[in-house]
Amino acid sequence: MTLAVVWTDDAATDLLDILDYIAERNVAAADRLEALIQHATDRLPDHPYIHRPGRIAGTREAIVHPNYILVYRVAIHAIEVLAVLHARQHYP
C-alpha cells in the first residue's frame, strides 16, 4: 500500500518562509530548492524509510540540500512532513 504525503501546517509554513527568504535574494535558487524538496517528497511513498532515522524518535530526516533538512514521520495511513529546517538551525 502506497502512503500519501501530508504536510503539517508548520512544515508548509517553514517551506514557504524559506522559499520566500531565498527568492528575495535569488529566485533561481529558490526554484532549485523547491524542486529538490518536491523530488524528495515524490519518492517517499515508494521508499518511506530511505532516509536516515531522525534525531527525535519516530522521525526520519531527508537531506534535500546541504543546507536544508526535511523532517518527516511514517504514520499508519500517511507520511507526515513535520518540518523543513536549515541545517544550522538548533534542532530538536
Distance CA 56, CA 46 (A): 23
Strands 60-65 and 4-7: unpaired
Q: Per residue in 23-73, pLDDT tens?
A: 999 999 999 999 999 999 999 999 999 999 999 999 999 999 999 999 999
State the Cα–Cα distance between residues 52 and 35, nearest whole angstrom.
Answer: 21
Q: How confident is the model at residue 91 (pLDDT cuts 50, 70, 90)?
A: confident
pLDDT digits (tens, 9 = 90+) for 5-25: 999 999 999 999 999 999 999
Domains of the chain from N-terminus onward: 4-86 (3.30.2310.20)
Q: What is the pLDDT at residue 92?
A: 81
pLDDT number for residue 68: 98
- Three-state SS at 7: strand
pLDDT computed for residue 76 by the predictor: 94
